[in-house]
Amino acid sequence: MNTELINLVIQEMLPNLDNEQLFKLKNCLNKYFSNVEIKKSISIQEDYKAENRKLLQLYFEAKKTEGCSEKSLSYYRATINMMISNLEKSLRRISTDDLRKYLIEYQQEKNSSKVTIDNIRRILSSLFSWLEDEDYIIKSPVRRIHKIKTSIIVKQTYSDDTLEALRDNCHNYRDLSLIDMLASTGMRVGELVLLNREDIDFQERECIVFGKGNKERIAYFDARTKLHLQKYLSGRTDQSEALFVSLNNPHRRLTIGGIESRVKQLGLQIGEVKVHPHKFRRTLATNAIDKGMPIEQLQKLLGHKRIDTTLHYAMVKQQNVKLAHRKYVS
């Protein structure tokens, strides 16, 4: 209890004292309160909830200012609130041991993967690093909780045969255009559903998309996609501005779930169980790397902020590694 209160005093004085003064204050408090018994006050227990609400409000306002999407903020909020509800402590008094215990118990209870646990660690690190930067705490308790090592799984891509089978199984130009757009642009499904007719430039075979963080970029499609899109749009009788709409009245803009469901149905019809929109993006990235596209250009094409993210998508085929070895090494 004494250590917690001493830390609280130090935290309160952070904005007013320099490091040397804080060090002397901490030594002084340890010296005179080490043998003093202090009992926890009920008011202190109750006040931490109000303080947590205030700190979280400031934190999420800061994240929103930085450009975090509402979807990301909701995920952060749910993750942080679950941690606080479990520990029932002030954010300013949570220790490294508290968080380690929480992560271990969470993984055991939920049977979560290492990737999930590391995502939680990363979110908590963001929160406590902000608290440290804003001088609400002395040091982030997540500093000593290192990135959790996870096994790298080589995710599968679509073969040329599978892509052609999906196209052959489409019985209308909307589905055909949908498959073509996903395969030739490599855009995210969330970007695809936001496209309007006016966003398409058939002359240049390109379209403007809005990616994560509302960042605008240009995506490109091939000649086959252009032809199928033109046939699809010329046959539409609705007035919707959306590029892709439902086949039946009222012709509403397709949602992410609607596209995922339709692509899955097309896959099942050709005997492919694991067919989903994101796999088209990974396929494009892998094929581009295999054909010699510079990673920096692929990064721009996919709309990635960090090149490390692009490298996760681009899995070089083993046969190409063998050929490269013969060319450059053997």
Type of residue found at 289: I
Type of residue found at 219: A
3-state SS, one letter per residue, for the chain: CHHHHHHHHHHHHCCCCCHHHHHHHHHHHHHHHCCCCCCCCHHHHHHHHHHHHHHHHHHHHHHHHCCCCHHHHHHHHHHHHHHHHHHCCCHHHCCHHHHHHHHHHHHHHHCCCHHHHHHHHHHHHHHHHHHHHCCCCCCCCCCCCCCCCCCCCCCCCCCHHHHHHHHHCCCCHHHHHHHHHHHHHCCCHHHHCCCEHHHEECCCCEEEEECHHHCEEEEECCHHHHHHHHHHHHCCCCCCCECCECCCCCCCECCHHHHHHHHHHHHHHCCCCCCCHHHHHHHHHHHHHHCCCCHHHHHHHHCCCCHHHHHHHCCCCHHHHHHHHHHHCC
pLDDT computed for residue 16 by the predictor = 75
pLDDT computed for residue 123 by the predictor = 96
In angstroms, the CA 211 to CA 1 distance is: 48
Per-residue pLDDT 10s for the chain (330 aa) are 567 777 777 777 777 777 788 788 888 888 877 777 766 554 555 578 889 999 999 999 999 988 888 888 999 999 999 999 999 999 988 999 999 999 999 999 999 999 899 999 999 999 999 999 998 988 899 999 998 887 666 678 899 999 999 999 999 999 999 999 999 999 999 999 999 999 999 999 999 998 776 788 999 999 999 999 999 999 999 999 999 999 998 999 999 999 999 999 999 999 988 899 999 999 999 888 888 888 899 999 998 888 888 887 766 665 666 666 677 776
Site of tokens 């030594």: 27
Q: How much is the pTM?
A: 0.68
CATH among 2.60.120.260, 1.10.443.10, 1.10.1020.10, 3.30.565.10 for 160-328:
1.10.443.10
| Per-domain boundaries in the chain | 40-133, 160-328
pLDDT computed for residue 47 by the predictor = 76
* Third-level CATH fold of 40-133: DNA polymerase; domain 1 (1.10.150)
HSE, side-chain direction, 13 A CA sphere, residue 74: 3
Type of residue found at 321: V
